[in-house]
Protein backbone atom coordinates (compact mmCIF):
# COMPACT_ATOMS: atom_id res chain seq x y z
CA UNK A 1 0.00 0.00 0.00
CA UNK A 2 1.43 3.36 -1.01
CA UNK A 3 1.49 6.34 1.31
CA UNK A 4 -0.88 9.20 0.44
CA UNK A 5 0.55 12.01 -1.66
CA UNK A 6 0.12 15.74 -1.33
CA UNK A 7 -2.08 17.05 -4.07
CA UNK A 8 -0.74 20.14 -5.74
CA UNK A 9 2.80 19.57 -4.53
CA UNK A 10 5.61 20.20 -7.02
CA UNK A 11 6.12 16.46 -7.28
CA UNK A 12 2.86 14.77 -6.34
CA UNK A 13 4.59 11.38 -6.56
CA UNK A 14 6.37 12.09 -3.27
CA UNK A 15 4.65 10.48 -0.25
CA UNK A 16 3.91 12.29 2.98
CA UNK A 17 6.85 12.04 5.35
CA UNK A 18 6.43 9.53 8.16
CA UNK A 19 5.32 10.90 11.51
CA UNK A 20 8.29 11.44 13.81
CA UNK A 21 8.98 8.97 16.57
CA UNK A 22 8.99 10.55 20.00
CA UNK A 23 11.02 9.34 22.95
CA UNK A 24 10.55 11.07 26.30
CA UNK A 25 13.72 10.94 28.40
CA UNK A 26 13.33 11.57 32.09
CA UNK A 27 16.00 12.66 34.50
CA UNK A 28 16.17 12.00 38.24
CA UNK A 29 15.42 8.27 38.05
CA UNK A 30 17.07 8.05 41.46
CA UNK A 31 14.10 9.98 42.89
CA UNK A 32 11.35 7.68 41.62
CA UNK A 33 9.66 7.72 45.03
CA UNK A 34 8.77 11.41 44.45
CA UNK A 35 6.95 10.91 41.14
CA UNK A 36 3.49 12.34 40.65
CA UNK A 37 2.77 10.30 37.50
CA UNK A 38 4.13 6.97 36.36
CA UNK A 39 6.49 6.60 33.43
CA UNK A 40 3.82 4.60 31.61
CA UNK A 41 1.33 7.46 32.02
CA UNK A 42 3.82 9.94 30.59
CA UNK A 43 4.59 7.81 27.56
CA UNK A 44 0.98 6.83 26.89
CA UNK A 45 -0.25 10.41 27.21
CA UNK A 46 2.20 11.48 24.53
CA UNK A 47 1.93 8.36 22.35
CA UNK A 48 5.66 7.88 22.78
CA UNK A 49 8.31 5.72 24.36
CA UNK A 50 9.85 6.58 27.70
CA UNK A 51 13.38 6.09 28.98
CA UNK A 52 15.05 7.53 32.01
CA UNK A 53 18.46 8.10 33.47
CA UNK A 54 20.20 10.10 36.14
CA UNK A 55 22.67 12.90 35.58
CA UNK A 56 25.33 10.52 36.88
CA UNK A 57 24.05 7.72 34.68
CA UNK A 58 24.97 7.23 31.10
CA UNK A 59 22.81 9.46 28.94
CA UNK A 60 24.70 8.05 25.96
CA UNK A 61 23.05 4.67 26.58
CA UNK A 62 19.63 6.27 26.07
CA UNK A 63 20.65 7.49 22.61
CA UNK A 64 22.19 4.12 21.78
CA UNK A 65 18.97 2.32 22.79
CA UNK A 66 16.84 4.69 20.71
CA UNK A 67 18.96 4.01 17.64
CA UNK A 68 18.81 0.24 18.23
CA UNK A 69 14.99 0.25 18.44
CA UNK A 70 14.57 2.00 15.09
Higher pLDDT, 49 or 8: 49
- Count: domains in the chain: 1
Query: Is 60 contained in some domain?
Result: yes
Write down the pLDDT at residue 4: 52
CB 30 within 8 A of CB 54: yes
pLDDT in tens, 6-43: 555 455 555 656 666 777 777 776 677 887 777 778 77
Write down the pLDDT at residue 59: 77
pTM of the full predicted structure? 0.44
Query: Is 3 contained in some domain?
Result: no
CB 47 within 8 A of CB 29: no
CB 44 within 8 A of CB 20: no
Higher pLDDT, 57 or 68: 68
Query: Is 27 contained in some domain?
Result: yes
CB 70 within 8 A of CB 18: no
Query: Is 32 contained in some domain?
Result: yes
Query: Is 42 contained in some domain?
Result: yes
Provide the domain limits for residue 42. Answer: 23-69
Query: Is 63 contained in some domain?
Result: yes
Amino acid sequence: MKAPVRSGSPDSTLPFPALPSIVVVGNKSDKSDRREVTTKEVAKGRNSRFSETTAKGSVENIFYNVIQRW
